[in-house]
Amino acid sequence: MRLVKAAEMQEMDRLTIQELGIPGMVLMENAGRGATRFFLEHFDPSEDSHVVILCGRGNNGGDGYVIARYLHEAGLQVTILVLAPLEKISGDALANLNIARGMDLEIVEVPTREAWQGYAAMLNECDFIIDGILGTGLSSEVTGFYGQVIDGINAVGRPVMAIDIPSGLNADTGEVMGVAVVADLTVTFGFPKLGQVIFPGLEYVGRLVRIDIGIPDHMAGAVRARYRMTVPDDFVDLLRYEKQDVHKGTRGHLLILAGSSGKTGAATLTALAAIRAGAGLVTVGIPRSLNTILECKLTEAMTVPLPETPQGSLSLEAEDEIFNLMDGKTALAIGPGLSTNEETTALVRKIVGSNRLPAVIDADGLNAIAPELELLEDTGEKTVLTPHPGEMGRLTGMKGSEVQAKRVDTAARFVDAHGCHLVLKGARTLIGGPNGDMFVNPTGNPVLAGGGTGDVLTGLIGGFLARGWPMTQASVAGVYLHGLAGDLLAEEGGPTGILAGELLEVLPELISDLCREEWPMASLPPHADFYHFL
């Protein structure tokens, strides 16, 4: 499902109006009519309900005037509070304001903080509030009069519908620009905005519904699509397709380099996840003294004991043997539980610098290459990095908090600079590739915030790479299924106490359900409302 930034949506509007000739009034009418239908469906108001519509001076206000007309026709009591001098309203918004005037709707000019004092109490007395104050083009902090109004909306606790985007929210980044409306329902026009589906914006939009306002597909297609929200259709055909004469040798062979003293669980979870992803064969290279432990933990995967350091991590002496192991393998996973031992770190750099297999690098593998990212110059297109925010901070020289504050821009800059594939983990994990596309993953929840879950993700991605999947689909599918398994477990067992290994137990049935086009949970998928076309 396509996501857009504000400027991309504005360009689609411009092309539709100026080059195709569909009037802006038509688009605004479609937006207002669709928004009204969802307002009535979502809130189910009684006929005597009082709705206050707060309109700014721009096109969001114009959409509000259209909504006011339709709600009035539905029998609701409507009051329009125009938060600007009426003489400042222009264009399509003015045309729709004049129509509302002609219908004798209650329209009140409230252009200043002083004027607002006389009407603020109306928010306590009404049944519903519709926010049409600020639109998607907001780029500066909301202060003063509008800030006071938004604070008032949030304080009264009435049900709120936001027009296109909650006022005060940055459409591109999801940042709160000083203060923002907390909506119960947001009706967004054309395509969902990137800032609405990532944090913190996600916490402000409530239920997010897309409304098709009549922009033709070829006009939308004329604007480059870089951002997408992952849906099963992005990868399910690869899960579904299977020849009947397949055998283990045709489903790929993943080599995993993982584990150190005290961290055999990381290697185990990675291997089992790769098997759940359908890899035909999995081999784990493990420090020699730990091999017996791994042979007990792993029945379905093979293990190879390798030279080790005195601290029980992989030694530089393992280099030649590892490169021999790589012959005949179809993918590599490196990093989980390796440790930050100096010798092990040097080994990782040698492997990454010379590797030609599709590879996923995680955990201590990321820590090893962070000071020498030039290693990715020749191998980036075949490499997936899977950092959490702290690891991303080490890769970029930023603090983890800085990464979190600018997740999309940080991920995009890193991918552009290093030509690799990136999975920036966290709430709404981001998946980017060297072609410039970026996916926002809608699945997952706090049950995944525990030890071992990242190792499962590494194994899933590595397993799909071993099967010969394209880098992007392997990453997107691994992240989506990993999160969906967490969602299923949380729905069945609650938000805490889930073990990383339990993700592996639910994956086969979950994948089977998706292949049959069945949703594996009682709740609807997070993107379901995006398929409403009104």
| CA–CA dist 375, 342 (Å, integer) | 17
Q: Is residue 407 part of a domain?
A: yes
Q: Is residue 337 part of a domain?
A: yes
| CA–CA dist 166, 259 (Å, integer) | 47
Q: Is residue 496 part of a domain?
A: no
Amino acid in the structure at residue 534: L
Total number of domains in the chain: 2
Verify that 334 and 272 share a domain, yes or no: yes
Q: Is residue 499 part of a domain?
A: no
Q: Which position has the token pair 């219908």?
A: 103
Q: Is residue 101 part of a domain?
A: yes
Verify that 260 and 219 share a domain, yes or no: no
Tokens of 137: 């083009």
Verify that 211 and 297 share a domain, yes or no: no
Residue 341 is part of a domain; what is its CATH number? 3.40.1190.20
Q: Does 200 sit behind a cis peptide bond, omega within 30 degrees of 0 on the bond before it?
A: yes
| CA–CA dist 486, 453 (Å, integer) | 9
Verify that 33 and 151 share a domain, yes or no: yes
| CA–CA dist 529, 230 (Å, integer) | 14
Helix, strand, coil: what percent of the chain each, to 5?
A: 50, 15, 35
Beta bridge partners of 424: 430
Residue-number span of the structural domain to which 206 is assigned: 2-225
Verify that 275 and 220 share a domain, yes or no: no
| CA–CA dist 81, 50 (Å, integer) | 13
Phi, psi (5° rounding) for residue 148? -65, -40
Q: Is residue 468 part of a domain?
A: yes
Q: Is residue 502 part of a domain?
A: no
Q: What is the 3-state secondary structure (H, E, C) of 21-87?
A: CCCHHHHHHHHHHHHHHHHHHHHCCCCCCEEEEEECCCHHHHHHHHHHHHHHHCCCEEEEEECCCHH
Burial class (CB in 10 A: 0-12, 13-18, 19+), 69: buried
Verify that 290 and 204 share a domain, yes or no: no
Q: Is residue 141 part of a domain?
A: yes
pTM for this predicted structure: 0.96
Verify that 264 and 413 share a domain, yes or no: yes
Residues 181 and 156: beta-carbon distance below 8 Å: no
Residue 87 is part of a domain; what is its CATH number? 3.40.50.10260
Q: What DSSP designation does 356 have?
A: -
Tokens of 194: 């990137």
Verify that 144 and 6 share a domain, yes or no: yes
| DSSP H or E stretch at residue 186 | strand 185-189
Contacts of 320 (CB under 8 A, 6+ apart): none
Q: Which position has the token pair 């902090």?
A: 141
| DSSP H or E stretch at residue 500 | helix 500-515
Verify that 436 and 392 share a domain, yes or no: yes
Residues 276 and 508: beta-carbon distance below 8 Å: yes
Residue 270: the pLDDT is 98
Residue 534: the pLDDT is 34
Verify that 210 and 261 share a domain, yes or no: no
Low-confidence ranges of the chain (pLDDT < 50): 532-534
Instruction: Give the SS3 label for residue 522.
Output: coil
Verify that 278 and 389 share a domain, yes or no: yes
Residues 300 and 275: beta-carbon distance below 8 Å: yes
Verify that 191 and 305 share a domain, yes or no: no
